[in-house]
Amino acid sequence: MPFALSYTAAADRLDFSLAQSLTVIALCALTALISNMALAVFNDGARPFLLDFIRGNTRRGEMTAVSFGLSAGFVFGLGAPMALSTGVLNPWLLFLPTDILGLLAPRRWLAPILGGAWGAVVVFGLSGANNAAHDLPVDFLTAMQEMATPILFLFLLFPVIAIASQFGRVLGAVAFVVEIAIVVISMKAWPDHFPGALAMAAGVLMLLGFALARDLRNRRAAAAPAPPKPADAPGAARIPLEEKADDKPAADPMASLFGANAERLRRHLPWFALLGAVLAAMVNLHIFGGGEATSFLVPKGDYGEAAQVDFYRAFGFLPLIATTALASGAFQIVGFTFVYPLAYLAPNVAVAAVGGAVLFSVEILALSYIGRGLTMLPSIRDASDHLRNAIGKTLEIAILFGAIAAAAKMGGGLGITLVGGLYLLNEAIGRPIVRLAAGPAAVVVAGIALNVLHWLDLFTPLKG
């Protein structure tokens, strides 16, 4: 049968084995400890503030307030609804709270206790909330599974948006045609597989190819010798001999800072190796999706497709993670996110753990080289920025479409009015909930409202 997002009866149930639960709790404890040490946080927006915190210029309470303000909307508006509707955990639900708890803890020994407690709340408490929600007359969690198709099939176009943004409408249109053609061919030739995986690969390769070609052209143009000017020509440079003799490049203070921060991370390499091992082990247990799209692929057992999606997605965040890590002295909790595809595909937990430890170690050791490479290839760096922005724009639209589909599933026209109205109200009052989280949060609020209306005998749940 063609690729379809069909779930088994318990695919969206948050039921974990003891081994899975203990792994999640251990990982949350470890990430809270590493956050407390200011070695890594998950929230990319909070990382630039950590340099002042590391230097002692920002108090722990102030840093915690920054992290909470940047994270709360994602935790309750995106992380929790996605986990409840898909049955797998996600990084917004696990790691944004451990960022906050780790920074909040006044003593280092307290951080892993708080982080582990959050992990226990997730694996035990969320399961009860999930089961209770499924027993409601209006099952809004099952309705939220309607979000899967828009997210997956619109997300695959993010390279097209990036190409159009960086290289113009013509190349963007070419990329769009190429990706659509690959989707059509994939659906015909490999109907049981997600057709967007190859399309995304083609789009990302096209973007990187265009960027590399531009960088090579610019370097050749810069290397071409300029015609010499006569000594007495207007604008000719007249440099005193003493200036020529003493002409030495000034020391770059930013390069010195980057080197010191990279060295700080290397000194703590064992912690990152341990983090990579535990993270990869949890991902390999197939109870975790690294992104919005993969959260719907993992429950279906499409680990190969999930690995491809998260692999291509990583290129949009690599420059941001590298530059903020070098500038702040704090890494990303999930590294460059290549640990996700590695762990999805590893044959067992032990292999995943070893691979995760090695991968994180390599990423930390290579950080300085990656930073220098990005300065030599500005178009590649810009391409990653465009990829990241395109991912955000694409997901905003895809999640909104999915939220409207979920609203129609659970409440028909009234459901659409509630969800769409809440989304528009959020926009009108200054967007207190970020757009990525506004749609899922609106579905949850609307679902609760529909159940209240049913108990008041003002709404009859839709059949089917």
How far apart are the C-alpha atoms of 337 and 321, rounded to whole Å?
10
User: Considering the domain boundaries, does residue 314 fall inside one?
Assistant: yes
pLDDT range class, residue 5, cuts 50, 70, 90? low
User: Considering the domain boundaries, does residue 218 fall inside one?
Assistant: no
> Which tokens is 370 given?
């990656």
User: Considering the domain boundaries, does residue 399 fall inside one?
Assistant: yes
User: Considering the domain boundaries, does residue 163 fall inside one?
Assistant: no
The model's pLDDT over 411-422, given as tens digits with 9 standing for 90+, comes to 999 999 999 999
The model's pLDDT over 161-185, given as tens digits with 9 standing for 90+, comes to 999 999 999 999 999 999 999 999 9
Q: Structural domain of residue 64, as residue ranges?
A: 18-157+254-455
The model's pLDDT over 225-260, given as tens digits with 9 standing for 90+, comes to 766 665 555 555 554 544 444 545 544 445 555 778
Please give the mean pLDDT across all residues of the chain: 86
pLDDT at residue number 157: 93
CA atoms lying within 13 Å on the CB side of residue 126: 30
How far apart are the C-alpha atoms of 326 and 374, rounded to whole Å?
12
In contact, 175 and 206? CB cutoff 8 Å: yes
Q: Which amino acid belongs to residue 438? A: A
User: Considering the domain boundaries, does residue 394 fall inside one?
Assistant: yes
**Residue bearing tokens 């089917």:** 464
Number of domain units in the chain: 1
pTM given for the model: 0.86
Residue 196 CB-density burial (10 A; 0-12 exposed, 13-18 middle, 19+ buried): buried
> Which tokens is 313 given?
């997605």
- pLDDT for 9 beyond 50: no
- pLDDT for 7 beyond 50: no
User: Considering the domain boundaries, does residue 221 fall inside one?
Assistant: no
The model's pLDDT over 394-416, given as tens digits with 9 standing for 90+, comes to 999 999 999 999 999 999 999 99
How far apart are the C-alpha atoms of 375 and 366, rounded to whole Å?
15
User: Considering the domain boundaries, does residue 82 fall inside one?
Assistant: yes
pLDDT at residue number 399: 93
Q: Quick one: what percent of the chain has pLDDT higher than 90?
A: 51
User: Considering the domain boundaries, does residue 233 fall inside one?
Assistant: no
* Residue 69, number of CB atoms within 10 A of its CB: 12
The model's pLDDT over 291-338, given as tens digits with 9 standing for 90+, comes to 888 999 998 888 999 999 999 888 888 888 888 888 888 999 999 999
Report the candidate in 313, 316, 319, 386 with the shortest Cα–Cα distance to residue 344. Answer: 313
